[in-house]
Amino acid sequence: MEKGDGQRKGPKFNIYWVYGIIAIVLILAQVMNFSPELKVISEQQFRNEILLPGDVQKLDLVKNKEQVHVYIKSDRLSKEFYVKQFKGRLSADKVKGTPLFAFEVVDWKAFEERLDTFCKANNVAEVEMRVVKAPEWFGPLLNTVFTLLIIIVAWILLMRKMGGPASGGGPGGIFNIGKSKATLFDKGAKVNITFADVAGLDEAKVEVMEIVDFLKNPKKYTSLGGKIPKGALLVGPPGTGKTLLAKAMAGEAQVPFFSLSGSDFVEMFVGVGASRVRDLFKQAREKAPCIIFIDEIDAIGRARGRNAIMSNDERENTLNQLLVEMDGFGGDTGIIILAATNRPDVLDSALLRPGRFDRQISIDRPDVKGREAIFKVHLGPIKISETLDLHKLAEQTPGFAGADIANVCNEAALIAARKGKEAVDMSDFQDAIDRVIGGLEKKNKIIAPHEKSVIAYHEAGHAVCGWFLEHAYPLLKVTIVPRGTAALGYAQYTPTEQYLYNTDQLMDQICMTLGGRAAEQIFFGKISTGAANDLQQITRIAYSMVTAYGMNKKVGNVSFYDPSQENTFTKPYSEETGKLIDEEVRSIIDEAYQRTIHLLTEKKEQVEKLAKELLDKEVLHKSDVEELIGKRPFEEKKLLEVEETPPAATEVIAEETAAPDTNTTTDSNETV
């Protein structure tokens, strides 16, 4: 691709020319004397014309020049003699502290005698005299140069400071504030991350690797009439590996790679964002073919005009310039835009259209196989026990993203080191998972015996519901050991990973979530604040069933789900329908609660066994529950159903407590 395309490159401005001009001016100002030039007169003329009228202020006896310099009183400068001598170019400010006349003296002693005799004979006041030495010419020059160097060094340091990463001035200082701050990884640049470090994203890796191949072998695709895609957008929840995939792309690609974030375009000065976009693409054209990666593009790519009151013209100008550069009147070839965001719903539709981002690569949370592969990558530098079961770890971490798994591996290594072990075993990973989910274990937390009993029966109610409901998640572990700042206990379950749920499954899930409150009602005759988050979950599920999934006969097969949030201030249904929705949600929850009460009343003996054992041991595993209340009735049926499906994973219900306004009660919240 030709550079310039008809544009002539003019001479580049260099700020150091300014420094040079300033230095020359300062040196000339020091060397050149802009004061009035000394008038050389005779000694006789000095006595008759200057000394006799009393115009002398003081005299300097310059020994090394054998001269006498005469200073004139400022109030006598208007006399005709001085006006003629200097042609009216004198002023009090200009000659202040400056000698105006000079005459030569050979014998200093004889001069002093003559001067004293003349003053006495003519009744002239004695004149102040001082002996001085004329300064060398290079002394002031050295002082000026030294001072100038200090000023220049301080100025350069100041400009570099203003141009640092914290100031947003760009690599060229404040004068280059409109320059792009993208980091360039050119050919041969060392990036330690490769595609081998990216696990669990096989489909996304194929898409990204194909983009690199587009740039390396364009004829392979254009020979059939196809066009190289302009851009690809990586979309996924936080921590799933979008930026990691881009880093690996920079490490594997043999083309220049520009990396920056969406916030790098944002600045307090008007017009800087658009200027940086222009400069970025100018650099990219010079390096084409190349890749530009913009992380967190939603910082500048938000939809325009969504809220006129809070609109930001500077951000919209930046977005407009980005849209033009990506696919405007003068399209570029050989530049591919790669961007990442976890908020694709807020991006402008013009940014997402084909021709700008031709591809949207979805990066979801990994499944059990993906988690196992991610564990293998992160366990590489960790000394692990030979008995460690990676598959079991993957099963017990459902919904964990790559960043969460990396955190679990690091926590397990720290826990093992704290215990003085030589290798990290399964128990360390179990403790790490518990810590990530529920927080730090606090065995010394003081809990009243009655509250501890309520917590035990609450957890036992959850466990029994999960054990005897067909579509509920089977129990893996339950504990009443306090964790974190608020958790009083939690239960861990093993659901099958699925994407579609029917009505029976959702109703069983609501019943299991209500198990804690139902157990409190049955065994204590009153309820506590321990089910605050339980109620939030079941309310969300029930409203989704009625308003989003069409699982209610009276409301019907309609969905009021609004992913684009176009109806932020108005509801898409009437007040009568809203009242009906509220009634049906309450009906669903009441039905589930009565069903849960009935189930736990039948299984009251099993709930008591689990609660008493929890009060004794504080932690129960699946095997302990089987010994106490027998095997789960639906276990064999579930095994037959999932014989051909991927292994199960783990879901956690954590019971948390937060102190309300009074000190006598607690608010226990459970999170799935």
- Residues with a catalytic annotation lie at 459
Give me the amino acid identity at 59: L
Nearest CA among 317, 310, 307 for reference residue 273: 317
Both tokens assigned to 175: 């004068």
Nearest CA among 453, 448, 481, 450 for reference residue 608: 453
Residues in the chain: 672
Instruction: Please return the burial class of 561, using the count of CB atoms within 10 Å of its CB with bins 0-12, 13-18 and 19+.
Output: exposed
Number of C-beta neighbours around residue 28 at 10 A: 11
Q: Are 655 and 459 spatial neighbours (Cβ–Cβ below 8 Å)?
A: yes
Residue located via tokens 């000659």:
95
Instruction: Please return the burial class of 501, using the count of CB atoms within 10 Å of its CB with bins 0-12, 13-18 and 19+.
Output: middle
Backbone angles phi, psi at 238, to 5 degrees: -65, 140
**Do strands 290-295 and 39-40 pair parallel, antiparallel, or not at all (unpaired)?**
unpaired
Nearest CA among 189, 312, 324, 180 for reference residue 252: 189
Instruction: Please return the burial class of 372, using the count of CB atoms within 10 Å of its CB with bins 0-12, 13-18 and 19+.
Output: buried
Nearest CA among 537, 506, 518, 533 for reference residue 460: 518
**Given phi > 0 = left and psi -120 to 50 = alpha, else beta, which region is 431?**
alpha
230, 281, 330, 332 from 355: Cα distances, Å = 6, 16, 13, 11
Instruction: Please return the burial class of 126, using the count of CB atoms within 10 Å of its CB with bins 0-12, 13-18 and 19+.
Output: exposed
Give me the amino acid identity at 585: V
> HEC states along 540-571?
HHHHHHHHCCCCCCCCCCCCCCCCCCCCCCCC
Q: Are 603 and 468 spatial neighbours (Cβ–Cβ below 8 Å)?
A: yes
**Do strands 67-72 and 487-493 pair parallel, antiparallel, or not at all (unpaired)?**
unpaired
Both tokens assigned to 312: 């930001």
Per DSSP, what are the bridge partners of residue 183? 259
Nearest CA among 29, 31, 34 for reference residue 93: 34
3-state secondary structure of 594: helix
- How many C-alpha atoms does 584 have within 13 Å on its Cβ side? 20
- CB-based contacts of 490: which residues, under 8 Å, 6+ apart? 437, 438, 459, 478, 479, 483, 652, 653, 654, 655, 670
Both tokens assigned to 92: 């009090």
